Amino acid sequence: DAKTTQPPSMDCAEGRAANLPCNHSTISGNEYVYWYRQIHSQGPQYIIHGLKNNETNEMASLIITEDRKSSTLILPHATLRDTAVYYCIVRVSTGTASKLTFGTGTRLQVTL
Amino acid sequence: SQTIHQWPATLVQPVGSPLSLECTVEGTSNPNLYWYRQAAGRGLQLLFYSVGIGQISSEVPQNLSASRPQDRQFILSSKKLLLSDSGFYLCAWAEQGEAFFGQGTRLTVV
């Protein structure tokens, strides 16, 4: 699985959009970009994933650059409950996917 | 729907004692299963993963071992715990790329 790089921490005011970047310059053509978040003392929670098109669901939007070497997770209206560590990973989505490796993630602090 | 059970939620064990953490999955078959450890304030470290019964891959040399005696059961063990084994242990399963995590076991070795 390709390696990802994320900033260690970010702050965001409540109600504003939180834009969380991720670099994955060695991503392969069959690897998807996945985002998870981990609220303190809980297991990580799946947020969204995509291959090359931008994706949106009820939690967030995922913007992937045309060359697929980076992506941005957007929380359109951050709330205090969005304070968490956000992990970006890349891996294949089909077949016998094996390793599932997380980086150090971005600690997002949402403030009043 | 698929669910993952991990227990116990918290555990305090003396140094040198054995360990057995169990994880079971429901609602799926032949999942990829994973054990992670998270030290305080740190990221998720992949310890073991398994793509099938009896198939275990170890990522980090350590004092722990894993076994998969049944398709939907994954066990993390140690014969003698060390202080450095303290941490938050998470079990996960994955299918078609997306992963689902248990609620974790907080292990304190004293």
A93 touches chain B (CB under 8 A): yes
Question: Residue A5 carries which DSSP code?
Answer: B
B5 touches chain A (CB under 8 A): no
Residues of chain A contacting B34 with CB distance shorter than 8 Å: 100
d(C-alpha B106, C-alpha B92), whole Å: 15
| Banded model confidence at residue A95, pLDDT cuts 50, 70, 90 | low
Run means of pLDDT, 10 residues per run, chain B, 110 residues: 86 97 90 89 87 89 91 95 94 81 94
pLDDT at res. A61: 98
pLDDT at res. A47: 94
Upstream peptide bond of A7 is cis (omega within 30 degrees of 0)? no
pLDDT at res. A1: 59
- The Cα of A3 is separated from the nearest Cα of chain B by a number of Å equal to 14
Instruction: Kindly report, residue by residue over A7-50, the tens digit of the pLDDT.
Output: 999 999 999 999 999 999 999 888 889 999 999 888 899 999 99
Residues of chain B contacting A48 with CB distance shorter than 8 Å: none
> pLDDT averaged over chain A?
90
Residues of chain A contacting B100 with CB distance shorter than 8 Å: 46
Q: Do B100 and A46 touch (CB under 8 A)?
A: yes
pLDDT at res. A94: 55
- Is residue B63 within 8 A of residue B82, CB to CB? The reply is yes
Q: Which residues contact B41 (CB under 8 A, 6 or more apart)?
A: none
Give the residue among A112, A76, A70 at the shortest CA–CA distance from A88.
A70
